[in-house]
A and B are shown apart, each in its own frame.
Chain A
Amino acid sequence: MKKSSGIKSLFFLVLVMTFSSMLLTMVAETTKDIRNNHDKIELARKICISADLKDMSSEKELLNFFSKGKIIESKDFKIIDFRDESFSAVVFSGSGLWDQIYTVICVRPGLIKNVFLCDKLLGLQIIQQKETPGLGGRIEEKWFTDQFSGFSLKKGNPQIVIGRSKKTEMEIDGITGASMTCKFLQESLSNCIASLKKKYPSGMAQ
């Protein structure tokens, strides 16, 4: 008697579990494409802003544009190469003050046949950040990210400086009151460029 009730409970449990995982799989499958597309569109939009491609506006155009990119995944970064537009986008993340900061940079000329050339930074956009709102959160603002567009990487990496008017061409004007966030952003950018150099040594030496 007791044993049969145990088997019955177990059977019931298995039934509930199967039913719920089936329901979930169904919902997951039906929404899969939409969910994936959202991420792609979001990324494509950021890439277009940082590479200054103004003609992309509708979601369809963005998706179409993104599908042309060739994706190369690596441990520290993800390269999306757009040969038609002759630039590469590099997605990377680094620790911020509170959480990871996800950033995308567009570099020209980019990846050409296993050689990565990064001479010029077309632009930088923040994909996701959870910095202090109103202080570090301002790294998303246009005036800050605009400073990176057209930056020449030939001489070295950009230095984010706070508190004095911009002096050399290597320096980017930082955000007052958000020195930590600026430091973290600069660090993750330098790390990304360093690991790019490590992976494609021949290309960067030029």
Chain B
Amino acid sequence: MSDFSDFLKITFAAVFTGNIALTYFLGMCPFIAMSKSPATAFGMGAAVVFVMTVTCCINWIIYWQILVPTGTEHLQLLCFIASIAVIVQILELFIDRVSPVLYAAMGIFLPLITVNCAILGASLFMVLRKYSFLNTLGYGFGSGMGWAIALLAMSGVRSRINTSKLPPGLEGPAITMITAGIMAMAFTGLAGVM
């Protein structure tokens, strides 16, 4: 029972209070590049949720079942990067075979994810906080959801900003950063729900 409440707590925290984009600043490059329209944001968000859940679980197995018993923890970064690249590749092939509709929706975003630091960051945080396998599953899914929600919200805000007039120099990344700051403040407020 307490295991399950832990699981829920960690998932909730990963989505809202410990949002990987707005609190830990991970995956900022695609966050700014992909939030131009809600359609791309949705595809990218879905791809991230999917890949983050899978990579976190597999990296947990790699770290706790292979690297720790053999005493080679110092190779973790190399292994994580390699495993993320391989998983993304396999997922791409798999989705292409199984569901062409899904592939059309998020296929083009999959290769981009290999270099998304949010994916690697989630794996590193998972190791650092010594989560159990179940909690890792929740954390991976929650972090992906949190990132996707932030991205979708941002794309909604940006499509409204596009129609308004801004002072010179503020358009593009600068206003996106300031908007993200306001969103981060709003997410901070959700800490009270815990």
Contacts and interface: CB of A to CB of B under 8 A. Distances in A.
Interface of A: 17, 20-21, 24-25, 27-28, 95, 97-100, 180
Contacts of B138: none
A95 B13 contact: yes
Contacts of A28: 74
Contacts, number: 27
B165 interface: no
A100 B129 CA distance: 7
Given A95-B9, A98-B17, A98-B18, A180 B192 contact: yes
A58 B10 CA distance: 39
A99 B125 CA distance: 10
A24 B194 contact: no
Contacts of B192: 180
Nearest to B129: A100
A98 B10 CA distance: 11
Contact of B17 (A24, A25, A97, A100): A97
Contact of A25 (B18, B23, B74): B74
Interface string B69-85: 00010110010000000
A17 B194 CA distance: 45
A25 B74 CA distance: 7
B191 interface: yes
A167 to B, nearest CB: 26
Nearest to A136: B191
B78 A20 contact: yes
A99 B23 CA distance: 11
A180 B194 contact: yes
Nearest to B9: A95
| Closest A-B pairs by Cβ, 10 of them | A28-B74, A24-B74, A100-B129, A97-B191, A21-B75, A180-B191, A24-B75, A98-B18, A95-B9, A180-B194
Interface string B123-159: 0000001000000000000000000000000000000
Give the interface centre of B74, B129, B192 by most chain A CB atoms within 10 Å.
B74
Contacts of A99: 18, 129
